[in-house]
Structure 1
Amino acid sequence: MLALLTSLAVAVGCLGVAAGAVGTLGDADDGDDADESDDPENARGSDDSGDYDYVVAKDGSGDYETIQAAIDGAKSFPPDRIRILVRAGVYDEKVEVHAWNPDITLVGESAEETVITHDDHFEKIDRGRNSTFFTYTLKVRGNDFRARDLTVENSAGPVGQAVSLHVDADRAVFENCRFLGHQDTVYTAGEGARQYFSECYVEGTTDFVFGGATAVFEDCRVHSKADSYVTAASTPENEPFGFVFLDCELTADSDVSEVYLGRPWRNHARTAFIRTRMDSHVLPDGWHNWSRPEAEQTVEYAEYDSRGPGAESERVSWTTVLAEDEAERYSKANVLGSESRGEWWDWEE
């Protein structure tokens, strides 16, 4: 009998330990565990749900089964960052990070296996001439958003405007993410908003990076799936920077051979490619005026140290080839800098 009671006590103790291990950050923010959970490098790639406030899992093993439910469950205007782990899976949902949900972090288990997808497009939405802006799969309006190791896809196919990512937030950071679509894949919005993409993959057909925000793409691969245009900036006249590509790579499908670097959605469009490798699909002219010759006097299209077969010919006369000292103006710190927030684009905080 004594042996039986001893065995039962051990079993109960083990169950208590197991139950404690399931808790999220909100249940284990004391002592050494809290210090480790604040280290993003410790969290990256980790299978420990204790590093996060919420866990999303399609199989019901987390706190929520959908990403939107986790965001809706987060505290509005939180005093501290809310970290959400999204388990591997395909999440067919339309997700919005609301303006009252700043300081949200979404981390997938891997960029290839954690996929947010939806199939809205211009004709399906059918809300008139502005239908494009309702087609997003993921819309981010909360400032200081972070995303890492996940895919955002618009699966509508080549059917016209169909946005994957619509980011209308300041100080938004995307690291090692994939953005898949066709026309209008990534919409960077918000006058005065600044956004940073690091080691990301972006694919599309026409104007698949577009909008009026100031956005830096660093060490990214930008892939064209059709003969068309990569960028369509609508930079406000009073903003010094639009899209800046630093140390990126421009690639294309094998049957693609006539691609422009950009065209102006608005007449003061600003786009720069700095130390970017360009495959042969990039046309010698490089840039297009969108059949508006007057825009040639107001746009600011620039390159510095472009490389590869797509960079070997002379560009149209109304663009700029930067000298080394001029290119320094396009440093990440100068484009995105903020005296009050410091280097906010760094993942570590």
Structure 2
Amino acid sequence: MNKITVLKYILLCLIVSQSLFAQTSKPKKSKYNIVVAQDGSGNYKTVQEAFDAVPKLKSERTVIFVKNGTYKEVVTLETDKNNITLIGEDVEKVIITYDNYSSKINPVTNKGYGTSNSSTCFIIGTGFYAKNITFENASGPVGQALAINIQGDKAIFQNCKFLGFQDTMYGADGRQYFRDCYIEGSTDFIFGSSTTFFDNCTLHTKGGSAITAASTKEYVNFGYVFSNCKITGTGSHITTLGRPWRPYAAVVFINTEMSDAIKPAGWNNWGKVENEATARYSEYNSSGIGAYPNERVSWIKKLTANQAKLYKVKNVLKTTYSNPPFVDNWNPNKVIDLYK
């Protein structure tokens, strides 16, 4: 083999190797549209900046990844920012937190924030999905102080934590699904009018009048449904399962393990005997020390096995909150399955 032939062979080998390197080293397309990182290694340093960057009225889903960090900010997802997915790196290390509360003075209005405006996070857009995120109101036991205010329909939370005291979580007219979440608080820490399915969640009470304060509309079939959940607490006989913020409050606990944090009576009429005739409170197969099957108030309903079958995810969430409602067969698991 002469020198020219050898050089041609070497050149050919270099071309082939470069081609193979280019193919194997070509960067893969990221599964995230936006990355949030406090250290500047992402597209934005705050969650709010990421939300603001999403085009309005976008139909396809936008996926935002949040790197570990404590993000002290009030976050608002506007009404025209739909189908947003927010995924945290680690639920214990991705914390969205702030410390507003009802009586705290808002420097813009020179008045108290009020309950609904005290929230750390406002979800108004439709189709929101959060995974591995902690939402916190860090103001402490100072009265009403929301960690999250959910106004948009079809909101989903998976493996998320919600930390606060009074009024930790508020849901307005709409549907929500919580799977494998941890929610803690004191008085009425889950409240509002929403139709919400809590699937395999832990509720941790720090005491107060009730865990739930539902204000379900009369025409709505389902309010709060707790299925295969667990209730823990900081003491014995420190709270009830619910009290009706509005007369037709609807709350059911199915296959839920209850600690002795629950009072034997279980439920409260909010000081109005007439609420006992309208509130739709029920239990099925409650277990644990706090179940007290023979000591519950007489005006709640104990479901049969057949009645309990109605409280399935697909049945509870298939109908809109509109008046009159219509069936759109919303199934939150279709969204969750995209991010396994």
Is the TM value for this pair above 0.5?
Answer: yes
Structure 1 142/291 Cα, relative in aligned 2: closer, same or farther at 3 Å?
same
Aligned 8 A contact 1:226 1:256 in 2 = no
Equivalent position of 2:69 in the other structure: 89
Equivalent position of 1:5 in the other structure: none
Give the Cα–Cα distance (whole angstroms) in 2 for the partners of residues 64 and 15 of structure 1.
30
> How much has 1:211 moved relative to structure 2?
0.2
Q: How many residues align?
A: 313
Pair 1:98 & 2:81 matched = no
Give the Cα–Cα distance (whole angstroms) in 1 for the partners of residues 152 and 45 of structure 2.
26
Equivalent position of 1:177 in the other structure: 160
Give the Cα–Cα distance (whole angstroms) in 2 for the partners of residues 284 and 211 of structure 1.
24
Equivalent position of 1:246 in the other structure: 227
Trace 1:245-324 onto structure 2 (pairs within 5 A): 245-253=226-234, 255-312=235-292, 313-324=294-305
Aligned 8 A contact 1:106 1:147 in 2 = yes
Give the Cα–Cα distance (whole angstroms) in 1 for the partners of residues 129 and 142 of structure 2.
30
Aligned 8 A contact 2:175 2:317 in 1 = yes
Equivalent position of 2:50 in the other structure: 70
Equivalent position of 1:236 in the other structure: 217
Trace 1:1-349 onto structure 2 (pairs within 5 A): 21=27, 28=29, 50-125=30-105, 131-190=114-173, 193-253=174-234, 255-312=235-292, 313-338=294-319, 339-346=327-334, 347-349=336-338
Aligned 8 A contact 1:81 1:103 in 2 = yes
Deviation above 3 Å: which 4+ runs of structure 1? 13-18, 125-130, 338-342
Higher helix fraction: Structure 1 or Structure 2?
1
Letter in 1 for 2:64: I
Q: Percentage identity across aligned positions? A: 41
Structure 1 130/320 Cα, relative in aligned 2: closer, same or farther at 3 Å?
farther
Higher Rg:
2
Aligned 8 A contact 2:236 2:262 in 1 = no
Structure 1 16/157 Cα, relative in aligned 2: closer, same or farther at 3 Å?
farther
Q: Which runs of 5+ in 1 are unaligned?
A: 1-9, 29-49
SS across alignment from 1:329: coil
Letter in 1 for 2:116: F
Q: Which runs of 5+ in 2 are unaligned?
A: 1-16, 320-326
Structure 1 139/345 Cα, relative in aligned 2: closer, same or farther at 3 Å?
farther
Structure 1 189/257 Cα, relative in aligned 2: closer, same or farther at 3 Å?
same
Give the Cα–Cα distance (whole angstroms) in 1 for the partners of residues 305 and 21 of structure 2.
64
> How much has 1:16 moved relative to structure 2?
12
Give the Cα–Cα distance (whole angstroms) in 2 for the partners of residues 165 and 298 of structure 1.
28
